[in-house]
Homo-oligomer: A and B are copies of this chain.
Amino acid sequence: MSATEEPLNGVDLAAVAGLVDRIRTEPAAASTVWSAEVTWTGAFRSEAQVRGFGPLRSDEPVGLGGTDTAPNPVEQVLAALGNCLAVGYAANASVEGITIHDLRIKLEGNLDLRTFLGLAEANAGYEAIAVDVSIASDASEDQLARLHRRVVASSPVGHTLSRPVAVRIDLTSTAN
C-alpha cells in the first residue's frame, strides 16, 4: 500500500497490528474496561453517556407505556450486536485481503414480556436472537465461509450474549 492509497475496506490494520504487538509484549494491555453512565429523564426515557459522545437516547413504545421517542433497550442490544459483527467482518476481511462492497446485517430477537410485566418469574430477556448477514465482496464462497466462522468465533458482543456474564447490580447510593 502506498502512502496515498486508501487501505482495504478503509481499515487501519496498522493500528490493530500495533495493539497486537503491544499485547504480545505486555499481556495486561489486553484487559480493557468500558463504561457508560445513564441518566433517567422521566417516564421510560433515559440517556446513556459514553465518553464524550452525544447521548444514546432510549424510550419504550406507547403500547409498553412509553412515549416512543427512541429505540428501546432490547432493540439497542440488537443494534450493538449488528454493529459488532460489522467490525468483525471489516477487520477479518481486511486481514484476509477481501474487499467488502456491501455488508448488511438483519437481526431479530424473541422476548417473552411476562417476567418484565410481573406475570412470571422466568427469563425476562431474549430467548433467541437470529442474525442474517448479507455480504457483497470479491471473495469466494469458501473464503466467505471461513471469514464468517472467524467473525462468529471472535465477536465481543456475540460472546457477551451467547455466554452468561457475571452482572452485578448494586444500589450504592440513596437519598430521600
Contacts and interface: CB of A to CB of B under 8 A. Distances in A.
Contacts of A101: 175
A50 B33 contact: no
Contacts of A62: 12, 15
A48 B176 contact: no
A154 B116 contact: yes
Interface in A123-148: 123-141, 144-145, 148
B74 A123 contact: no
Contacts of A162: 125, 164-167
Contact of A163 (B125, B157, B168): B125
Q: Which size bracket describes the interface of A in this complex? A: 35 or more
Contacts of A1: none
Given A34-B109, A56-B79, A125-B161, A174 B141 contact: yes
A141 to B, nearest CB: 7
A73 B156 contact: yes
A40 B104 contact: yes
A110 B168 contact: no
Contacts of A137: 174-176
Given A43-B9, A117-B20, A119-B24, A77 B157 contact: yes
B132 A44 contact: no
